[in-house]
Amino acid sequence: MNDEIKQFDLKVCGITPHDFRPMSNGTDQRSVLNEYTWHDFYMNLNSKPFETDTAIIVTSYPGQLCWLKATLESYRLTGAYVILSFDNHNYIWNNLDALDYILRVLPRPIHYLLAHAVVVKHKTYEADKRTGWYWDVKYAQSIINGFTNIKYVYCTNGDCILEKPEGMDKLKEILGEGDFISGQSTPGGTIHTADVLYKVDAFNKIMDYMTERMKVCIMGSQSPECLLRDAVTTLKLNEVFAQQPLKEDGEIDWYCTQNLPSTFKDVLGFRNLYAELEYRENNGLEPLDKKFFDSYNNWMYLRSEWQISLCKYYETGDRRYLQMWWDMGKDSAEDRKFLPLEAYGDQPIYK
C-alpha cells in the first residue's frame, strides 16, 4: 500500500479525522467532489484482502468492547488485513430486546469500519472464553484461506494493543524460516495465544489438529494453550523463541501485567491492557492512560464499579476516585472496601 492510499484508508476508517459529510449529501453522492471522489473509494479500497501478505485475527467478546476501538486502530495501522472474530455471549434467557442490553453486548459501527471483516461464530456453551476462542479462530481461518496471497497470520485478543504497529514487518523478519513465534512461551511448556505470528501453512496445520480434538465434546474446557502446545509437539513445528518478559524472580510474566522488556514489546509495542490494568488496580498503582478506553455512552462498556471510580477519576482528575478504585479492586476479597466518596475526604484531591 503506497503512502497516499494508506493515508486515505486511515481517513475512511476513522483513525484520521476528515470531513466526508458532503459525500452523503444530496441524491447523487458519486458526483460530489470533496478532495476525494467516489472513484477513489472503489478503485483504491475494494480489493484490500488481496493487497497484503498478512492477516490479523482479533478474537473478542462483549467484555472487551471497552478496549476494542483502540486495539483495532493499532492493528489497522499495520497495513494488514484485519478480521474481528467476535464471540456470541448472548443467551436466550437474557433480556435480548432491551436497548441498553443490545448496546452493551454488540460492536458499534466504528468497530466494523476499523476491522476489514467481522465474523461471529455459532453459539457455544460451557467455558465461553476457552471453547469460544477455538471457534473464533476457526471461523476466521475460513476467510483467510479464501485468499492465496496471505502468507502470515497474527492472532491476538481484543484487549491487547500494538503501540508500534509498524513493527509487524520486523517481526516477520525475526520469524524467518520458523513456523511461528509467540510473545510468551517456554520450550516444551506453555505457549500463550494472545500474541502469536504464524506462517499460514503452520497455522492451518495447527487448526486442523485442534479441529480433530474439538470434534469431541467434553465437560470443562480444552485450553487454547494446551491445544496449541499439543499441536506443536505432535506436528513437530519449528518455534522461534522470543525474548521473554521476565519478572525480578526470573519467572515469565505470562500475561504481560508489568509491561516488561521483551521481543514483542520492543518490536510491536505489545501490551495486554486488561492484565496491566488489573495488576495496577490490585496493587494500588497509577491506572492506564485514558486513551486506551472507549468512553462511549458514559463509559457504558466498563464495569459498573469502574464507572463510579476509575471513570470519574479520568473525567475529573480527583484522586479520591482513584483511591476508591484501588480499595474496590484489592486482590484479596477480604481487603476490598466499598466506601462512598466522602470517606476519602470532603474536598477534591489533585496531584
SS3 letters across the chain: CCHHHHHHHHHHCCCCCCCCHHHHCCCCHHHCCECECHHHHHHHCCCHHHCCCEEEEEEECHHHHHHHHHHHHHHHCCCCEEEEEECCCCCCCCCCCCHHHHHHHCCCHHHHHHCCEEEECCCCCCCHHHHHHHHHHHHHHHHHCCCCCCCEEEEEECCEEECCHHHHHHHHHHHCCCCEEECCECCCCCECCCEEEEEHHHHHHHHHHHHHHHCCCCCCCCCHHHHHHHHHHHHCCCEEECCCCECCCCCECCCCCCCCCCHHHHHHCEEEHHHHHHHHHHCCCCCCCHHHCCCHHHHCCCCHHHHCCHHHHHHHCCHHHHHHHHHHCCCCHHHCCCCCHHHHCCCCCCC
Model pLDDT for residues 233-257, shown as the tens digit of each residue: 999 999 999 999 999 999 999 999 9
Among positive and negative, which fits the CA dihedral 94, 95, 97, 98?
Answer: negative
Cell numbers of 24, please?
452523503
Domain residue extents for the chain: 47-268, 287-344
The pLDDT of residue 296 is 96
Give one word for 272, left, alpha or beta, with left for phi > 0 and alpha for psi -120 to 50.
beta
C-alpha–C-alpha distance, residues 288 and 274, integer Å: 10
Q: What Å distances lie between residue 285 and 43, 257, 258, 279, 280, CA to CA?
A: 49, 12, 11, 8, 5
C-alpha–C-alpha distance, residues 211 and 216, integer Å: 9
Q: Strand 160-162 to strand 270-272: parallel, antiparallel, or no bridges (unpaired)?
A: antiparallel
Q: Strand 117-120 to strand 81-86: parallel, antiparallel, or no bridges (unpaired)?
A: parallel
The pLDDT of residue 217 is 81
Among positive and negative, which fits the CA dihedral 278, 281, 283, 286?
Answer: positive
In CATH terms, the superfamily for domain 47-268 is Spore Coat Polysaccharide Biosynthesis Protein SpsA; Chain A (3.90.550.10)
- The answer to whether 282 and 271 are in contact (CB under 8 A) is no
The pLDDT of residue 24 is 67
C-alpha–C-alpha distance, residues 112 and 168, integer Å: 22
Q: How many residues does the chain have?
A: 351
User: In which residue ranges of the chain is pLDDT below 50?
Assistant: 27
The pLDDT of residue 27 is 45
The pLDDT of residue 285 is 96
pTM of the model: 0.94
The pLDDT of residue 184 is 97
The pLDDT of residue 4 is 86
C-alpha–C-alpha distance, residues 332 and 339, integer Å: 16
